[in-house]
Amino acid sequence: MQLESITYAQFEGKPEKWSITDFSFGNINLIVGKNATGKSRTLNVIAGLGKLVSGEVKLTFKSGEYKVIFNKDGKKQKLTYVLKYEECKVTEEKLIVDSKIRLDRGLEGKGKIYAAKVGKDIDFQAPPSELACTRIDSIQHPFFEDLYKWGKNLRHYCFGTQLGKGLYTVFQKDKEEKEPNLKDAEQAVAIFKKGQRNYSPQFIDNVKVDMAKVGYVIDEVNIGLPVTTTFERTFGEPQGFLVKERDLEGKTDQIEMSQGMFRALSLLVQLNYSLLASIPSCILIDDIGEGLDYERSSALIKLLIDKAKNSRVQLIMSTNDRFVMNNVPLEYWSIMQRFSDHSEIYNYKNSKKRFEDFELTGLSNFDFFTSGSFEEKRH
């Protein structure tokens, strides 16, 4: 199931108001825009929804209004989910499968829900602070499962952060190994070990091949004790990444890796594990290419797009980097502009002629962004 469009607003009628309307998505997406236009905020909104509908977090947000439309694996069937809440309490929640309302609740948690076993709507009441869609009952309410799986399998990476570079992991031999949180991008070392155990040698080979495509040719990748520093060992040995670069005699540990190299390694380790495990539904990557040079940034983008094309994964990235923009076809672009308390989106779906006309000019993608050629009166 893939996200087709999202409309979101928060703090309506208040100074903190912000909204986006009818942001449409394809299989591969690059959100571009200047700083503070809402790129990261939009990815956070999508990630936040995923956590809510999968039950991973409680409703602690003060204000929000979602209307999201999904399509089921490219099929004609649509799933529409509406969620509104104020002061951490649900004021409206609705799930529509095609034109059939399966859930409809309002204030005080009261509403109707379709019971598949008996074939009719029944009255129900849920706590106002809880989402009804997280009450999974595969017999009576199978229509919730797609929404739950989408949220559970969504992955969110902030490429401009450490992605686990400053963290080492201790595996205790005498205790049962704790399963890593696959949604925590800081747990790259633990996820690598799980991939090594479950999917080697393919997992290791995939990481090495992908790193080479990005411009980091390595003959070995593993985890172990760092080679350049020591730690106080109180309850185990700290493990971190170790790579053998082809043009170096010794091994490079994660402390000595450049931030760009480590970000690429961490991201590719986590993506390859998820793809081999057939996990992700949607991958969000904020500030893609941050910290990489032009050639490696371009290669990473191409690699990610190729992976998305050859899978059922939906890829949504964001950037304000001109080099990244110039290496992603305009057909994948969504240009974001901020107007006071809302952000607007321009892409192939709502401004197709402007995009196609510009492609005939032969200018760079970045020129399209800076010239404002994408703007048109759509109201």
pLDDT recorded at residue 131 = 95
Structural domain spans, the chain? 1-154+315-379, 158-279
The rounded distance, in Å, linking the Cα atoms of 94 and 101 is 7
Could you list the beta-strand ranges (E) of 226-296. 238-245, 252-253, 282-286
pLDDT recorded at residue 73 = 65
- What are the beta bridge partners of residue 89? 86
CB 323 within 8 A of CB 316: no
Q: pTM above the 0.85 mark? A: yes
For 356-378, what is each residue's pLDDT tens digit?
988 888 888 888 888 877 775 44
pLDDT recorded at residue 379 = 43
CB 252 within 8 A of CB 229: no
pLDDT recorded at residue 347 = 94
Which parts of the chain sit beneath pLDDT 70? 73-75, 174-176, 233-235, 376-379
For 191-227, what is each residue's pLDDT tens digit?
999 999 999 999 999 999 999 999 999 999 999 988 8
The rounded distance, in Å, linking the Cα atoms of 254 and 166 is 8
CB 157 within 8 A of CB 79: no
Amino acid at 145: E
CB 51 within 8 A of CB 151: yes
